[in-house]
Structure 1
Amino acid sequence: MQRRRFFRVALATTGLALTASLGTPALAADEFPTRPIRLIVPYGAGGVTDQVTRALADAAGRELGQSIVVENKPGVSGTLGATQMATTEPDGYTLSMAPVVIFRLPHVQKMRYDPLKDLTYISMIADYNFAVAVKKDAKWQTMQELIAEAKANKKGISYGTTGIYGSQHLTISELARVSQSNWTHVPYKGDAEAITALLSGSSDVAVLSNTLLPYVQGGQMRVLATLSEKRAADFPNAPTLKEIGYPVWSNSPFGIVGPANMKPAVVKRLDEAFRNALKDPKFLNVTRQYGMVSNYMNPEQYTAYAQKAFKSEGEIIARLAEAMKNQ
């Protein structure tokens, strides 16, 4: 008995020593993260995407026990984060916020990332709501009047958005097609630039998210319509484009992605943190302020969505190209 007990103790001691010297994959995954995480926001500072992502990062960081540092990288219509993921180490310490345009732009031009091969889909977060706004003293009182002006004026109505081929750009392009009206797109790096352009008179219209809300509440702007399928709670008096007779609306979700080939245990840990962050009171306050609609998906659901979105966005781009060719 004593001899057997000796061998059992010796074997256990040897196993503990080996574990201590080599480590185990399970232990490494359980310990993640051991240092701060970097989260790229592919838009300028101060806009709705930036502010919502910072609130999300703060709440998720508390869940993880490590800070999540937000880094703004505006440009290329919100795809610079996805581009960086294609060359980033898949250790979970560099992530990106991903707008729906990451599925769209590869159908338009050659990109340095493949949305189906170079990314790990971690958590879908929410949907944007977009509105068509003009200055308070603009001559157009309704969206119908604005569209009538766009039909009559060959120069067209100039409208600012956060980037070419973004959801706002494609939705107004589709409106131009179905209403046979003229619109001139002016892309900016972020909401703040587009708002400044509208207020200074550089553009006629701003088509943006609920970043507009404080300016509307302050009497500097008026909202003529929303691009959502149903009326937005923050702009209850503004009709949708569907309501005024045009079958056009925008669906623009965003989520958190990382590089391809991330460890499943790390993806699970991050997804749990972001999912729990969606319940954080401070985060909920920010999303309510900017009219965000929660649209959580787990990694499996988000991956399936990405595959469908890549195909459907290609079809939208093909229709837009055909419409522009026939103009």
Structure 2
Amino acid sequence: MMKKMTWIAGLLSLCALSTAYANADYPSRPVSIVVAYPPGGGIDTLARLVSIELGKRLDQSVVVQNKPGAAGSIGTAAVARAAPDGYTFVLSGANAILSPLVDPNLSFRIQDFEPVARLTETPYALAVSPGLKADTLKDLIALSKEKPGQLNFASTGLGSVQHLLGELFKQRAQIDWLHVPYQGGGPALRELAAGRVHVMFSNPIPLAPYLKEGTIQVAGVATDDRISLLPDVPTMEEQGIDDFDVKTWVGLLAPAGTPEAIRKRISDEVQHVLALPEIREAIEQQGSIVSFLPVGKFAEFLEKDEARWIRILEQSKFSSAM
């Protein structure tokens, strides 16, 4: 019995030494953060902000690789297939959960990844073309009911967060809108400002120049409380649409099987990076808030968030054929 206990103790010590060695030796070459969207977007900007300081803390290059296509599915799937050695991560948002729920034919699921860290959360505002002459949510809903099927809403793609928010709003407000998908938020907002689409859920920051010009207005925010960027804009709940607090998140994910010790190392370093005043300020200027969660808490969050999106899909009566 004593020999067996000694053997087990020795094995545990060897595992601890191996982990410690792996941590001490890691990373020994550049680390890649994949962004599954084109350069210049919110996630890409965040990745480049964090990568510079993260590289300093790791004493190794952290390279951002853009792998866009299929509303983020191509780059995300590539990371799911990558070696789980701690040298490839994906900086992703809710679409890592949502896309496979919307399209079961995709080659990945959120379970194909290991959580590393949640970095930020972002609220959404309902932007409206001024041409509609709908200054409030009440006006917009009334107009939509007067013209069933004649108004449309833009999104960044079939099954995107913006798409699901539009479908959920339609269901809650009992109205009928046509969905018009675009290849990104920029093109969609330009079409909204030109009056070729009528409404869109958007991060508040890209709305700023349009609000200044008066080419877009905001009818409500999809949060429990008003937001500092749009303090005069009432929430959905204030205007009669209950339970419509739907922020999205951005987090770092690793391929399934990536050692926990490595994920915790990266998570700890990301937390230090996010605590830097200049990083926090830059994130807030993007319209997001720092909302860090470490490995364990991020894992719990992902499980709850998947359940939330399943519920939203059911409530919105979403169909992939929309």
Distance between the aligned counterparts of 2:212 and 2:59, measured in 1?
Answer: 38
Tell me, yes or no, if structure 1 residue 236 matches structure 2 residue 231. yes
Counterpart of 2:240 in structure 1 is 245
Paired amino acid for 2:77: T
Q: CA deviation at 1:41?
A: 1.9
Which structure 2 residues correspond to residues 124-139 of structure 1 after superposition, within 5 A? 124-135=118-129, 139=133
- Which of the residues 199, 210, 213 maps onto 1:215? 210
Could you say if the C-alpha distance between residues 76 and 228 of structure 1 is closer, same or farther in structure 2, counting changes exceeding 3 Å?
farther
Preserved CA contact (<8 Å) 1:171 1:249 = no
TM-score by length of 1: 0.84
Which structure 2 residues correspond to residues 288-327 of structure 1 after superposition, within 5 A? 288-321=284-317
Q: CA deviation at 1:290?
A: 2.2
Aligned length, in residue pairs: 302
Which structure 2 residues correspond to residues 14-163 of structure 1 after superposition, within 5 A? 26-110=20-104, 111-116=106-111, 118-135=112-129, 139-163=133-157
Paired amino acid for 2:305: A
TM-score by length of 2: 0.85
Q: CA deviation at 1:252?
A: 1.5
Q: CA deviation at 1:256?
A: 0.4
Paired amino acid for 1:243: E
- Which of the residues 180, 185, 188 maps onto 1:191? 185
Q: CA deviation at 1:121?
A: 0.4
Distance between the aligned counterparts of 2:185 and 2:213, measured in 1?
Answer: 17
Q: CA deviation at 1:135?
A: 4.3
Paired amino acid for 1:32: Y
Distance between the aligned counterparts of 1:159 and 1:58, measured in 2?
Answer: 37
Preserved CA contact (<8 Å) 1:225 1:238 = yes
Which blocks of at least 5 consecutive residues in structure 1 are unaligned?
A: 1-22
Q: CA deviation at 1:271?
A: 0.6
- Which of the residues 220, 226, 229 maps onto 2:221? 226
Tell me, yes or no, if structure 1 residue 178 matches structure 2 residue 168. no
SS in 1 for 2:261: helix
Q: Which moved more, 1:251-260 or 1:187-196?
A: 187-196
Deviations 1:81-112 (A, max 9, x none): 43122210111221111212222232332221
Counterpart of 2:3 in structure 1 is none
Preserved CA contact (<8 Å) 1:133 1:221 = yes
Q: CA deviation at 1:44?
A: 2.9
SS in 2 for 1:243: helix
Paired amino acid for 1:40: V
Paired amino acid for 1:301: K
SS in 2 for 1:104: helix
Which structure 2 residues correspond to residues 249-264 of structure 1 after superposition, within 5 A? 249-264=245-260
Counterpart of 1:13 in structure 2 is none
Could you say if the C-alpha distance between residues 265 and 222 of structure 1 is closer, same or farther in structure 2, counting changes exceeding 3 Å?
same
Q: CA deviation at 1:32?
A: 1.6
Q: CA deviation at 1:24?
A: 5.6
Distance between the aligned counterparts of 1:203 and 1:70, measured in 2?
Answer: 33
Deviations 1:134-160 (A, max 9, x none): 345652222222222211112332222
Q: CA deviation at 1:122?
A: 0.1
Preserved CA contact (<8 Å) 1:34 1:66 = yes
Deviations 1:274-303 (A, max 9, x none): 111111233212221122122211111111
Could you say if the C-alpha distance between residues 158 and 120 of structure 1 is closer, same or farther in structure 2, counting changes exceeding 3 Å?
same
Counterpart of 2:9 in structure 1 is none
Deviations 1:194-251 (A, max 9, x none): 1222233331223211222243245443222111221111011111111100112313
Could you say if the C-alpha distance between residues 74 and 224 of structure 1 is closer, same or farther in structure 2, counting changes exceeding 3 Å?
farther
Q: CA deviation at 1:58?
A: 2.3
Preserved CA contact (<8 Å) 2:153 2:179 = yes
Q: Percent identity?
A: 27
Counterpart of 1:271 in structure 2 is 267
- Which of the residues 199, 215, 232 maps onto 1:205? 199
Preserved CA contact (<8 Å) 1:81 1:97 = no
Could you say if the C-alpha distance between residues 272 and 234 of structure 1 is closer, same or farther in structure 2, counting changes exceeding 3 Å?
same
Paired amino acid for 1:216: L
Q: Which of structures 1 and 2 has the bigger CA Rg?
A: 1
Paired amino acid for 1:246: I
Distance between the aligned counterparts of 1:217 and 1:285, measured in 2?
Answer: 22
Deviations 1:288-325 (A, max 9, x none): 1122122211111111222222233223223333x779
